[in-house]
Amino acid sequence: MENFFNFYQHLPEKINPVVFQMGGFKVGWYSLMYLVAFLVVYAILSYRIKKKEANLSLDDLVDFLFYAFWGMIIGARLGYVLFYNFTFFLHHPLNIISPYDFSSGRFTGISGMSYHGGLIGIILASWYFSRQKKINFWKLSDFVIPAVPAGYFFGRIGNFLNGELFGRITESHWGMFFSAGGNFLRHPSQIYEAFFEGIVLFVFLFFLRNRKELGGHFLEIYILGYGIFRFFIEFFRQPDSQIGFVLGLTLGQILSLAMILSAFLIFIFRKKRYN
């Protein structure tokens, strides 16, 4: 048992965040998992189309995922800029889109993405797509949302393989050592999120996907479910170093509370509008 825990706790330190490299070109686990996430979402949604669970074609699905991909990337980046490091980017605006750090004079790549910003980006891209295709936005949301947590699962696995977004210090046996986390056991909070915000939420939503009484409400159900899970998992996740705690809460918890409130507001707005 001691050998098992020794292997388990040091596992993140043994993982190379780079999948393969050819000269100056390299592919990391994080970017690869993003690709896998979209392929998984495509597979699930194409399955639903083939089962006649949506009045969409596979071509429509490909078009939608193209919109969603760019909405996510742009939203996630701008969300990080606005929510997590606004002061820095206010003084270094080129770093928002440039992989070259002008302050240090070296290439650092573009790092820093926000889930909450990415979600807003995807919602706006979905709204625009629905307007372009003349599709009801809420029906499109009902179709897409049950597959989203499955893709999110792979995103968090990518964080784990990349050795980032680890948890707070712990003395528990299930803690792990991360290269960037110092010589301390830390909660593998990426795995917690992958399980609850990914697997559990996916199973729940996919099981309910064809319930007619929930039609038009899957967006707020997802926002509410994710917000609740994320709020509690943030108690195990290391706060962002440049922000720390705000009124005893992490920024992730504050944004999750905003998600929970938004879910109720969307529900009330839609109920008043259609009743």
pLDDT in tens, 77-121: 888 888 887 777 777 677 777 665 556 555 555 567 788 888 999
If DSSP states are collapsed to H, E and C, what string results for the chain?
Answer: CHHHHHHHHCHHHHCCCEEEEECCEEEEHHHHHHHHHHHHHHHHHHHHHHCCCCCCCHHHHHHHHHHHHHHHHHHHHHHHHHHCCHHHHHHCHHHHCCCEECCCCEECCCCCCCHHHHHHHHHHHHHHHHHHHCCCHHHHHHHHHHHHHHHHHHHHHHHHHCCCCCECECCCCCCECCHHHCCCCECCHHHHHHHHHHHHHHHHHHHCCCCHHHCCCHHHHHHHHHHHHHHHHCCCECCCCCCCCECCECHHHHHHHHHHHHHHHHHHHHHHHHC
pTM comes to: 0.87
Identify the segments of the chain with pLDDT beneath 50: none
* pLDDT confidence of residue 141: 94
Task: Please report, for the chain, the start and end positions of each structural domain, with discontinuous segments joined by +.
Answer: 2-55+137-274, 57-134
| pLDDT score, position 269 | 82
